[in-house]
Every structure is written in C-alpha cells, then in structure tokens.
C-alpha cells in the first residue's frame, strides 16, 4: 500500500478521547448522560488506538536507524502508550462487573492526564510528518529535510 494506514486511523482515538474528556468534565454539570457517553467513547478510543498503534509501529520500523526522525518517533510511541494507558485505566476504574459507573476523581484525573499526553503525542506526530517528512511521498528527490529516509520512486513517461 502506498499510503500509510496510520494517518488514516489516528482520527478515531483522537476524536473519541477528546470528546470523552469533554463529556467527563461536562458530567459535573450534565450528569449521567455525559459520563455514560464518555464511557462508550473511552472504549471505542482504546480499541481503535490498538489498531492505530499497530499501524504506527509498521511505519516506525521503516525509519532508518541513522535518521534523526527515529528519536522523535520513539518519543511519539512512548507518549501514545502513555495516552492509551491513562484512558484505559480511566475506563477500567469506572467499570464494576458489567456496569459502568460515574468516574471518580482518579478516573477523571487520568482522563485529563490522557488528554495532555494525547496532545503531546499529536505534536510529536506532527513533527514527524512536517519536520522529518515521515510517511510523506516527495516528488523532489533533492529535498534534504529528511536525510536517511527512503525516497519515492518517480514515474517516468
């Protein structure tokens, strides 16, 4: 596949977790409908993030060891795991048996910490794309912004 899958998948956990954080905070005013909505979004975000992280790992192993992008990519991976862990822990703290409950202070704090980690993860992902050109198919083979990254093949004719 020419187009990497990771950029297409990241929108699902980002949207779910951002809305879940807003719904959790809003549940202090809106009550049960908001925290129930947040719980469903946390679950969808956690599951979709697993596929997203797997696709990201496929892209990570394509980065050459001598590329300056590798250090940023490893930080991006670490922050993604932290994000997933915070949100998944928040979800687990509100599930008792098969029943979803309102988030307690710790579950809410983990959701907020997850959101901050999500922002850092996104920032690092943007750095990989816009600074290092990871996953970007370039037409100008002389572009030196991403040394060590493979160049796309040009079609002639």
The packing angle between helices 69-93 and 11-30, to 10°, is 40
Cβ proximity of 94 and 102 under 8 Å: yes
C-alpha of 152 from chain center? 26
DSSP calls for 44-86: HHHHHHHHHHHHHHHHHTTS-TT-THHHHHHHHHHHHHHHHHH
pLDDT reported for residue 3: 81
pLDDT reported for residue 154: 44
pLDDT 10s digits, 80-108: 999 999 999 999 999 999 999 999 999 99
pTM of the model: 0.85
pLDDT beneath 70: ranges in the chain: 1, 138-157
């Amino acid at each position: 596949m020419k187009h990497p899958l990771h950029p297409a998948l990241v929108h699902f956990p980002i949207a779910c977790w951002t809305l879940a954080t807003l719904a959790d905070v809003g549940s202090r005013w809106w009550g049960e409908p908001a925290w129930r909505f947040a719980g469903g979004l946390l679950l969808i975000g956690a599951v979709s993030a697993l596929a997203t992280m797997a696709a990201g790992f496929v892209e990570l192993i394509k980065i050459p060891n001598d590329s300056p992008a590798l250090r940023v990519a490893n930080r991006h991976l670490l922050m993604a795991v932290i994000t997933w862990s915070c949100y998944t822990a928040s979800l687990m703290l509100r599930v008792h048996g098969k029943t979803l409950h309102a988030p307690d202070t710790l579950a809410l704090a983990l959701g907020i910490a997850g959101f901050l980690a999500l922002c850092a993860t996104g920032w690092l992902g943007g750095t990989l794309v816009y600074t290092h050109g990871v996953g970007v198919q370039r037409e100008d083979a002389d572009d030196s912004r991403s040394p060590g990254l493979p160049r796309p093949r040009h079609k002639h004719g």
